[in-house]
Amino acid sequence: MKKPILLFCASALVILVHSSWCAPGLGVPLNSQNTTGKELLRAFDRHDPDYHMMALLIIADIYGAKINNGIVPDSNIRQGLGEITYAYLLEHPDLLNRSAEELVVAALKGVSAQIEEQKALWGRALRDAEAYFLTPSPENAERFFLALPDKHLPPIAFDQEILVIDIAFADGNFSLLEKKIDEGEPNEMDVGFRLINISDGANSEILYHVLGGILLKHPRLFLDKIAFHLGNRSPKEFDGQLQYLLNPVAWWEIPEDDEDQTKYQALFKKNKELRIKALKSVENDDLENIRDRCLAILLAILEEIGN
């Protein structure tokens, strides 16, 4: 499942007056007293950072007043509270005419405990990340993998998560991890798959490319790891992850110049054929369904490209 896209704009002019927020040119302001769940969801779904900021400030205000003993959370935790509330609104369309205050309180009930749990989780992950990259070993890789979340978590313990990401994707550290994955080290592969849950942007693109490369050298191990890490995901999320992992070319290999399209098509065709050959080389009853799904998705990617 794709996490909701929450946009922010540091330069947005947001005015706080009696728990009410209004950005320039947005008309009637939203506020924590008379906004409905439908209006809050609409603010999130608009591609406008000012609306997103207003929605996040409303949620933070309600959380502080009704749950957190009057203390309004900082901007990092506010982002995570927004993700939790957004997901709750999507899951309860029948409640959207109720007040935003009622729905935010319902969505964030117990979140204070989640914050403490995540702080403990990320504290452990940070220690295990530092230990692995200081002394790389299968044992330290396994501890690091087990400390990482097995699904996306809202960033309500944001600072610690950022430190783990910074360590894992530092140039020298990620080069080490990439080398171990390429060599077929299973524990490092596990680390890579878990890092997907906390990465985005360029980091996730590179990570998908590295993990997808396992297929060419270690096809059986690739399918084993797909089964282990993605086997329990929803069909939509499972297929979405596979599309990224199986893409025959990385985004940085796509040419901007039309004159290079012939070279691109040749590279695409070559990489496609290599991936199909690697998948077909695996003959195992337990992995047959996943192998066939990978082949189907790879062929669907080819149809989109028009090849």
Measured between alpha carbons, how far apart are the two ends of the chain, in Å?
28
Radius of gyration of the chain (CA): 22
* Same domain as 240, residue 193: no
Residue 243 lies in a domain: yes
Cross-sheet strand order for the sheet of 20-22:
15-16, 20-22, 30-31
| Domain that includes residue 164, residue range | 111-197
Phi, psi of 14, deg, nearest 5: -120, 130
Q: What is the pTM of this model?
A: 0.76
* In a domain? residue 59: yes
The answer to whether residue 155 is domain-embedded is yes
Q: For the chain, what is the domain count?
A: 3
| DSSP track, 68-97 | STTPPP-HHHHHHHHHHHHHHHHH-GGGTT
In CATH, what number is assigned to the domain containing residue 44? 1.10.890
C-alpha count within 13 angstroms, C-beta hemisphere, residue 119: 7
Q: Is 253 inside a domain boundary?
A: yes
Walk along the chain (307 residues) and give the pLDDT tens digit of each residue: 434 444 333 333 333 333 444 444 444 455 656 789 999 999 998 878 888 888 999 999 999 999 988 888 888 788 889 999 999 999 999 999 999 999 999 999 988 888 888 889 999 999 999 999 999 999 999 999 999 999 888 878 778 888 999 999 998 999 999 999 999 999 999 999 999 999 888 898 999 999 999 999 999 999 999 999 998 888 888 898 998 999 887 666 666 665 566 777 777 888 888 999 999 999 999 999 999 999 998 888 765 554 4
Q: Which of 72, 65, 157 is nearest to 120 (CA)?
A: 157
Q: Residues near 278 by Cβ (< 8 Å), separated by ≥ 6?
A: 215, 216, 219, 222
User: What are the backbone angles phi and psi of residue 88, rounded to the nearest 5°?
Assistant: -65, -40
Residue that terminates a domain, selected from 109, 128, 156:
109
On whether residue 7 sits in a domain, the answer given is: no
State the Cα–Cα distance between residues 283 and 299, nearest whole angstrom.
19
Look at residue 8 and tell me if it is in a domain: no
Residue 2 lies inside a defined structural domain of this protein: no
Considering the domain boundaries, does residue 3 fall inside one? Answer: no
